[in-house]
A and B are shown apart, each in its own frame.
Chain A
């Protein structure tokens, strides 16, 4: 089980009075095993939303809860994949993936099996003993995803996970993530500023306004994906060619552009 709920959440940075209001009355519910992407202009506070679910930041008002329990601190039930990977450079790939399992005090035999499974899932078997700096950016992010998945978390929080990757690697990783989501569905909160990525990956896309960030609208992608049977296509470019995909993408683009236009950007 892993549901996420934002209930009348505000976030103010700096002093309570006179600080910068980053988020204003955020209300959003993400159901178990649902994949929700948040898109919005830079600085709108979308990453802050994720950080509150992760337990890195407390809300200034309102409640962020997972499975009905208010979030108070970080924990392995909410695994995070960071934009800059955040691997431990002094640990090998295997040790990076294993740390969370050691923290759970699992016996060695059990850890070995789980780590092997995670390595296999992300095609990392031949790099298990490498250090992160010996790997490409795409490979490093695979390690970070494996490190998150191996915890068997209730929710997976992904903060622009492919933002630091080159375009080709990015596409491969997006396809991988879709494959992963089919094999091993999770509740996912995915932050991105790439509209196509959001439409391709998510069940629903939440669009945020400029600062102070509010949720402007939430689009249902899943019903379109199922009605138009996007999943019959293996490749991302084929999906992106579909009229239904283009339509959704354009709709989100327009919505985001209004945000910028409203402020004369």
Chain B
């Protein structure tokens, strides 16, 4: 069922589409060379979906991009979350690691792209590495903050119950920090997409960023828009999937529910 807010949202989307049609097609105020009309968009979408473009169909390009995002994102979670938890829990670990982290952190993830390509070439490895770096930072920071923000009595209660070290991490620290960890993962996922598209723009042989790059060289506005919309839809879909995982994992957390 669509609620009141849903109708308002649909209304504004419809208005934007109408404006698009009005400016490009009905009035011709915006020339098709600058911004594609809905018809151009549809034709471009049809072309890439049925006959392919830039060496592959839309599904193949999309799959390539999603694959890299998911892999880089998972590597970032697997490394960033434990590191953040550890730094949050162990003051000595924080003292040792934080200075390095503070130096590396301001380097924009995109600045790693040249080095990554130099090391690993134009294949998947370089992109996964850059996505990893980009997604790593929010994972670490939020996991760290998540541990530091745990109510002290929760930790003390667990200590009082004689909870051994490893169980303390898995059953107390990690779940207590989980709402913050997921906040970090949302930021990480966002960073993953940003970085991936940039990396594919710079050097790739497939993927949505590559489609965008080729379409730019072909001066093909319709296909550029198809690429952009595809990134938007894929980004939304992966964020939605992450949201589902979060709801599942944090079912106990009323405050975390919208």
Contact = CB atoms under 8 A, between A and B. Distances in A.
A133 B252 contact: yes
Interface in A146-200: 147, 151
A86 B162 contact: no
B214 interface: no
Interface of B: 151, 153-154, 156-164, 167, 171-172, 175-176, 178, 250, 252-254
A76 interface: yes
B157 A80 contact: yes
A23 interface: no
Nearest to B255: A133
B156 A74 contact: yes
Interface string A67-86: 00000011110111010101
16 contacts: A54-B156, A56-B159, A74-B159, A76-B162, A82-B156, A84-B151, A88-B175, A88-B176, A90-B178, A90-B250, A91-B171, A100-B161, A100-B162, A103-B161, A103-B162, A147-B161
A89 interface: yes
Interface of A: 54-56, 73-76, 78-80, 82, 84, 86-91, 99-100, 102-104, 131, 133, 147, 151
B157 A82 contact: yes
Nearest to B253: A89
Nearest to A84: B153
A133 B252 CA distance: 8
A134 B250 CA distance: 14
B160 A79 contact: yes
Contact of A56 (B156, B172, B253): B156
- Chain B, interface SS category: helix
B163 A103 contact: yes
A151 to B, nearest CB: 7
Contact of B163 (A87, A89, A90, A99): A99
A181 B158 CA distance: 24
Contacts of A131: 252
A102 B171 CA distance: 12
Given A76-B162, A103-B167, A88 B253 contact: no
Contacts of A74: 156, 159-160
A133 B250 CA distance: 13
B154 A86 contact: yes
A84 B163 CA distance: 20
A6 to B, nearest CB: 19
Contacts of B252: 89-91, 131, 133
A84 B252 CA distance: 18
A237 B101 CA distance: 61
Contacts of A54: 156, 160
A13 to B, nearest CB: 15
Contacts of B172: 88
B160 A99 contact: no
A82 B252 CA distance: 21
Contacts of B253: 89-90
A89 B175 CA distance: 9
A80 B250 CA distance: 27
A78 B157 CA distance: 11
Contacts of B160: 54-55, 74-76, 78-80
B161 to A, nearest CB: 4
A86 B151 contact: yes
Contacts of A89: 252-253
A91 B151 CA distance: 16
Nearest to B178: A90
Contacts of A82: 153, 156-157
A12 B153 CA distance: 21
10 closest A-B pairs by beta carbon, nearest first, are A86-B153, A100-B161, A74-B159, A86-B157, A76-B162, A90-B175, A103-B162, A90-B252, A74-B160, A80-B160
Contacts of B178: 90
Contacts of B163: 99, 103
B123 to A, nearest CB: 41
B5 to A, nearest CB: 26
B153 A75 contact: no
Contacts of A73: 159
